[in-house]
């Protein structure tokens, strides 16, 4: 069943929200609410991780347009509905001025529990990369290769966008084996597979899994907390 994901795309690009559930809905490009427009911001604010920064403050220090007087029913509201093929638990990401297929776009990235990734133009609502792209991966083991089985996993943690790479992480359904923890990364400009990490490829299918968020804690490094029977911190470059 296709579940519509309502994204309120603010003209300031300072805030971004998503809610899952409801009936199926086709992507549309409805005009913004009548009654005048909010001034165009001079600086876009990218949302590249959960709550805007590695400290999870949720603050936007570049906001210069939104005020209590212009955030109202006449000037502010839902722009469009963007279709997705499953629940969206992870924070959608926003990247302004991204070059996609030779053109510049302001892009919203979405990952769903159906193991799909979308890249939407936030101004037009058009899907840019022929998505959704099915998330698929394999990782070497002592006996061969383990393959990512989407039926065993859910995408619970927030997405992370670092240096043009989009990171997703995967956990079990209530620790029901077989499972382990996966980090699967894609190019933000093409949605091509960029990197794969399985935190316990030889663990016998009993974890650990990844329940917590991705976090960029130092340059070129991503910290991930894996939990389960053997909690551990995992570093990936």
Residue pair 119/129 in contact (Cβ under 8 Å)? The answer is: yes
pTM of the model: 0.54
Residue 56: which domain range? 1-25+38-134
| Residues 143 and 124 placed together within one structural domain of the fold | no
Total structural domains within the chain: 2
| Residues 93 and 209 placed together within one structural domain of the fold | no
Residue pair 158/111 in contact (Cβ under 8 Å)? The answer is: no
Question: Mean per-residue pLDDT for 119-126?
Answer: 93
| Residues 155 and 231 placed together within one structural domain of the fold | yes
Question: Mean per-residue pLDDT for 222-236?
Answer: 40
| Residues 99 and 154 placed together within one structural domain of the fold | no
Cα separation, 133 vs 197, whole angstroms: 19
Buried b (16+ CB within 10 A) or exposed e, 202-231: ebeebbbbbbbbbbbeeeeebbbbbbbeee
Q: Could you tell me the sign of the dihedral formed by the alpha carbons of 125, 128, 134, 139, in that order?
A: negative
Residue pair 179/209 in contact (Cβ under 8 Å)? The answer is: yes
Q: Would residue 33 count as lying in a domain?
A: no
pLDDT at 212 over 70: no
Across the chain, mean pLDDT equals: 74
pLDDT at 1 over 70: no
């Amino acid at each position: 069943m296709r579940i519509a994901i309502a994204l309120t795309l603010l003209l300031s690009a300072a805030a971004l929200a998503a809610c899952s559930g409801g009936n199926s809905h086709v992507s549309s490009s409805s005009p913004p609410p009548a009654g005048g427009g909010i001034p165009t911001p001079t600086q876009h604010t990218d949302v590249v991780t959960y709550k805007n920064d590695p400290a999870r403050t949720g603050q936007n220090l570049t906001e210069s347009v939104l005020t209590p007087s212009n955030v109202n029913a006449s000037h502010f509201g839902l722009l469009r509905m963007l279709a997705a093929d499953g629940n969206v638990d992870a924070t959608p990401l926003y990247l302004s001025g991204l070059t996609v297929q030779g053109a510049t776009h302001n892009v919203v990235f979405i990952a769903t529990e159906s193991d799909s990734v979308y890249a939407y133009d936030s101004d037009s609502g058009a899907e840019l990369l022929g998505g959704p792209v099915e998330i698929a991966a394999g990782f070497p083991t002592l006996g061969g290769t383990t393959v990512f089985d989407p039926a065993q996993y859910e995408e619970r943690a927030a997405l992370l966008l670092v240096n043009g790479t989009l990171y997703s992480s995967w956990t079990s359904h209530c620790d029901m084996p077989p499972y382990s923890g996966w980090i699967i990364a894609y190019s933000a400009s093409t949605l091509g597979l960029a990197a794969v990490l399985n935190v316990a490829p030889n663990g016998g299918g009993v974890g650990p899994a990844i329940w917590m968020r991705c976090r960029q804690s130092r340059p070129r490094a991503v910290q991930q907390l894996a939990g389960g029977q053997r909690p551990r911190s995992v570093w990936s470059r």
